[in-house]
Amino acid sequence: MAAVGLQLFENCSSFLENLLIMRRAMNPFNVSKGLWQAETPIPSTQEQITAGNSRREFTFALTLIASLIGLPMSALAQSGMASVYAYSGGRTASGERAVPSALTAAHRTLPFGTMVRVTDAHTGRSVVVRVNDRGPFMRGRIIDVTPAAARALGFSGLAHVTLDVVGTKG
């Protein structure tokens, strides 16, 4: 972990140095002297490429560290519209049988088995559901819940909700 932190620091410092070179090249006017600075070197094409690579490396390093310390992007709280499943029987995307009385849900990106706390913004009620399907496929909706979960939340059609990942099952 310390090696990753050291690499991040090195990438960050080289990125900032390259950014400073680029800034000087873009604005060669010296405000304190009131004249153009002829001595400011314009970065070569290789230096410009290096600055771009440093930025990509810096972004990659930040993403890597965030994933290593357990902050997956999907774990961030989401807010939006929830809808109730229109069950017609059959199987979910995870292969399970669709059961309207179960506390399950469909989400576009969360892994199957993820436990999510769904809180109704209007009533304040919340329920923990397990993701076992993909969806919703309607624009503006973030989760589909079973009729049982919708009853627990106190709605029957659409509701404004907040999602918080609480863990995984299994």
Question: Tell me: the pLDDT tens digits for 55-75?
Answer: 666 666 656 555 555 544 444
pLDDT of residue 66: 55
Rounded to the nearest integer, the mean pLDDT of the chain is: 75
38 DSSP 8-state letter: T
Name the residue among 94, 75, 79 with its Cα closest to residue 134. 94
Element (H, E) at 118: strand 114-120
Residues 29-57 have a mean pLDDT of: 56
Residue 142's φ and ψ, nearest 5 degrees, are -110, -20
Residue 57's φ and ψ, nearest 5 degrees, are -65, -40
pTM: 0.56
Domains of the chain: 2-68 (no CATH), 73-168 (2.40.40.10)
Out of 45-59, 102-116, 156-170, which region has the weakest mean confidence (pLDDT)?
Answer: 45-59
Q: Residues for the chain: how many in total?
A: 170
Kindly report, residue by residue over 71-92, the tens digit of the pLDDT.
Answer: 444 445 889 999 998 776 789 9
Q: How many Cβ atoms sit within 10 Å of the Cβ of residue 52?
A: 13
Residue 113's φ and ψ, nearest 5 degrees, are 95, -10
pLDDT at 154 over 80: yes
User: 68, 7 in Cβ contact below 8 A?
Assistant: no
User: 108, 138 in Cβ contact below 8 A?
Assistant: no
Banded pLDDT at 6 (limits 50, 70, 90):
very low
Kindly report, residue by residue over 81-138, the tens digit of the pLDDT.
Answer: 999 987 767 899 999 988 899 999 999 999 999 999 999 999 999 999 999 999 998 8
